[in-house]
Homo-oligomer: A and B are copies of this chain.
Amino acid sequence: MTEHHGYTPQKDALARRMKRIEGQVRGIARMIDEDKYCIDILTQVSAATAALHAVSINLLEEHIAHCVVDAAGSGEDAAREKIEEASAAIARLIKS
């Protein structure tokens, strides 16, 4: 039996999105290999970063909706721990 997480119901959609991001990253490598113009490469890097950010916002939303809300049901300390962990993850995202 595998563990269940907030994002579990969306696993297939997330897998497809990660596949697409992998393709974007490979496309950037190819642009560098083919000596494309720097600014065009940067535009693709921004697109890949934005796609990764969108995935993380999705993961966070489901994490709060499930893990945090569930923890809240089992007591204030459990909830506080989960919320601090989520805040630290948000801070890392903003700074990345």
Contact = CB atoms under 8 A, between A and B. Distances in A.
Interface of A: 2-8, 11, 14-15, 18-19, 21-22, 25-26, 28-29, 32-39, 41-43, 45-50, 52-53, 55-57, 59-65, 67-69, 72-73, 79-80, 83-87, 89-96
Contact of A42 (B41, B46, B92): B92
Contacts of A8: 35
A46 B92 contact: yes
B38 A62 contact: yes
Contacts of A33: 11, 15
Nearest to A47: B96
A45 B38 contact: no
